[in-house]
Amino acid sequence: MRVTHWLTVIAFFALLITGAEIVISHPRFYWGETGNSGTTPLFKIPIPSSRDTVPSGYNYVMPDQNGWSRYLHFEAAWVLVLTGLVYIVASLFTAHFRNNLIPPRADRRWRAIRDVFARYLRRAPPREAESHSYNVVQRIAYLSVIFVLFPLVIWTGLALSPAFDSAVPAAVNLLGGRQSARTLHFFVSLLLVGFLGVHIAMIVLAGFWSRMRAMITGRVSPSERP
Amino acid sequence: MSNISRRKLITTGIAATAGLAGLAVASRIARRYGLIPPDSGGIYGPGETLTYAAQRLLTSHSLAREFPRDMISKVPFANETAPPSDAFKRHQATEFADWRLTVDGMVAHPTAFSLADLKALPVHNQITEVACEEGWSYVAEWIGTPLVNVLDAVGILPQARYVVYFSIEPDWWESIDMADALHPQTFLTLGMNDGDLPVKFGGPLRLRVPRQLGYKSVKYITHITATDSLKRFGKGLGSASPEAGYAWYAGI
């Protein structure tokens, strides 16, 4: 299980870096089916492009990194998807979702969620249970990433494949067209990066090395044990 | 760390051996059914092979999306090309009257087609999208004859596994497998949006492969050859794209 976490970390960083490189070749986003340098974008990212056909407003063309970026993006996507499948199957076998991620009945209330945030804001020390189990906000965040954001980023990515769309046209039509799918792929990726930012911040606050050791070896130090 | 028991070691060993054997069998089957792309070597090879194999199993006969006429882009975008060669300019001066498409290789009757010959074959139209690997796209109506008509006319041999196509411009060539070569939407395109195909969009002759990204739709086609192996073309990676660092299969 911990192996799947670290494989996902490697694949995610590869996807993030190569995805950024691919965006640089056309840092303009559109809505609907079509969009190009001759049409009005929904928004632009204010950076130079790696193509001189893109009106970026900068008199500078970035180096083109699309070839290896695209190869690596799709290979890392396979690693992510296959790792995700292993994780889901293993989790079903070990009842990981039921035991560790689905919030217990008592916590399925706004009050429980508010309490967690209140403790975070007061920077209260974690409850004893939290060193070996997740609180309700963590559980909701992890479940959203696993069952909402990752499926969405995979769907919007697949919708950008002209061959996949020929077999499953609804994959792109339901999203409102090719350019809408590309824009949504970008925003879902940003949400995942947002999660990563908070995730890392929390690890740092909780003690970077102790959390890293726990996630790599599966052991918590004796002082943290209940 | 944990104590590794003998039983665990043995089961892990058996699982690893079974996994390796399974991979070897899978790769033999994949090769036999043409599921391995020509650029399957190197560190990105496994990803490319998975993509190509998965898509061939899923999409071998599927049709690219076609659009209603009112979705034709008012502003189609022609990607820039290198300045035309002298050979191209000479054809342009005579309005492409002497343009020839030579079809050879694994065919019964190698033939050189003029543009008029191609227009005499059944001509169809399709309203499909051009999607560039950079991210932009447009929809246009494409008019031409399906490549399969030309391959039938020259009597393509059953051993042929790929069709390689060349631009009049140097170092611009691609290849597709038979699933795409025989596909009804793979057009030798002569016209666009009710007119002749403009030069900047690939006129007088472009091979449109609408189930793959735009870079597979090579402009200014003069030569097509059928083959059972891509090894002897260029560096043997299938087309000019992998030589420039881009994937051979662009259906993604």
Residues in chain B: 252
Nearest-10 Cα torsion for B113, B102, B148, B39: -160
Are residues B207 and A31 in contact, defined by beta-carbon separation less than 8 angstroms?
A: no
Q: Which residues contact B215 (CB under 8 A, 6 or more apart)?
A: B132, B133, B174, B241, B246, B250
Q: Quick one: pLDDT at residue B1? A: 44
**Highest-scoring range by mean pLDDT, A123-127, A198-202, B57-61:** A198-202
Instruction: Determine, for residues B245 and A68 on separate chains, whether the beta-carbon distance falls below 8 Å.
Output: yes
- For residue B131, the cross-strand partners are B137
Q: Is B56 part of a structural domain of the chain? A: no
Q: Quick one: pLDDT at residue A223? A: 65
Instruction: Determine, for residues B65 and A70 on separate chains, whether the beta-carbon distance falls below 8 Å.
Output: no
Which residues in A lie closer than 8 A to residue B64 (C-beta atoms)? Answer: 162, 165-166
Which residues in B lie closer than 8 A to residue A51 (C-beta atoms)? Answer: 134
Q: Is B237 part of a structural domain of the chain? A: yes
The CA–CA distances, whole Å, from A208 to A36, A133, A212, B60 equal 45, 17, 6, 50
Q: Quick one: pLDDT at residue A219? A: 82
Instruction: Determine, for residues B44 and A75 on separate chains, whether the beta-carbon distance falls below 8 Å.
Output: yes
Between CA B62 and CA B59 the distance in angstroms is: 5
How many folded domains does chain B comprise? 1
Which positions 136-165 of B are in contact with A (Cβ < 8 Å)?
136-139
Q: Is the pLDDT of residue A217 over 60?
A: yes
Which residues in B lie closer than 8 A to residue A162 (C-beta atoms)? Answer: 64, 129, 131, 210-213, 251-252
Q: Is B168 part of a structural domain of the chain? A: yes
Among B250, B241, B246, residue whose Cα is nearest residue A164: B250
Q: Is B192 part of a structural domain of the chain? A: yes
Q: Which of A71, A78, A80, A213 to mutate to test the interface with B (most CBs of B within 10 A)?
A: A71
Instruction: Determine, for residues A71 and B47 on separate chains, whether the beta-carbon distance falls below 8 Å.
Output: yes
B133 touches chain A (CB under 8 A): yes
Which residues in A lie closer than 8 A to residue B79 (C-beta atoms)? Answer: 53
Q: Is B30 part of a structural domain of the chain? A: no
Type of residue found at A209: W
Instruction: Determine, for residues B58 and A217 on separate chains, whether the beta-carbon distance falls below 8 Å.
Output: no
Alpha helices in chain B (DSSP H): 6-32, 45-59, 86-93, 115-120, 147-153, 178-181, 240-243
- Say which CATH number the domain at B94 has: 3.90.420.10
Nearest-10 Cα torsion for A154, A159, A164, A169: 130
Confidence of residue A225 (pLDDT cuts 50, 70, 90): low
Q: Is B108 part of a structural domain of the chain? A: yes
Q: Which of A10, A15, A36, A44 to mutate to test the interface with B (most CBs of B within 10 A)?
A: A36
Query: What is the Cα A53 distance to its own chain's centre?
Result: 31
Type of residue found at A213: R
Between CA B94 and CA B55 the distance in angstroms is: 43
Give the domain range for residue B103.
64-243
Is A67 strand, coil or helix? helix
Is A44 strand, coil or helix? strand
Helix (H) or strand (E) holding B189: strand B187-192
Confidence of residue A167 (pLDDT cuts 50, 70, 90): very high
Give the CB-side neighbour count of residue A147, counting CA atoms within 13 A: 11
What ipTM, to 2 d.p.? Answer: 0.90
pTM of the predicted protein model: 0.92
Instruction: Determine, for residues A162 and B44 on separate chains, whether the beta-carbon distance falls below 8 Å.
Output: no
Q: Quick one: pLDDT at residue B3? A: 58
Q: Is B43 part of a structural domain of the chain? A: no
Is A71 strand, coil or helix? helix
Q: What is the mean pLDDT of residues A147-175?
A: 97
**Exposed/middle/buried for residue A162 (C-beta within 10 Å: 0-12, 13-18, 19+):** buried
Instruction: Determine, for residues A53 and B80 on separate chains, whether the beta-carbon distance falls below 8 Å.
Output: yes
A6 touches chain B (CB under 8 A): no
Looking up tokens 């990066």 gives A193
A170 touches chain B (CB under 8 A): no
A75 touches chain B (CB under 8 A): yes
Q: Which of A26, A78, A166, A179 to mutate to test the interface with B (most CBs of B within 10 A)?
A: A166
B58 touches chain A (CB under 8 A): yes
Which of B55, B132, B246 comes nearest A163 by C-beta?
B55
What string of pLDDT tens digits covers the 252 residues of chain B?
455 677 778 888 888 888 888 888 887 888 778 899 999 999 999 999 999 999 999 988 899 999 999 999 998 999 988 899 999 999 999 999 999 999 999 999 999 999 999 999 999 999 999 999 999 999 999 999 999 999 999 999 999 999 999 999 999 999 999 999 999 999 999 999 989 999 999 999 999 999 999 999 999 999 999 999 999 999 999 999 999 999 999 998
Neighbours of A61 (CB within 10 A): 14
Is B139 strand, coil or helix? strand
Looking up tokens 């494409």 gives B142
Q: Is B48 part of a structural domain of the chain? A: no
Which of A163, A173, A178 comes nearest B59 by C-beta?
A163
Q: What is the DSSP string of B212-224?
A: S-GGGS-SSEEEE
B12 touches chain A (CB under 8 A): no
Instruction: Determine, for residues B47 and A182 on separate chains, whether the beta-carbon distance falls below 8 Å.
Output: no
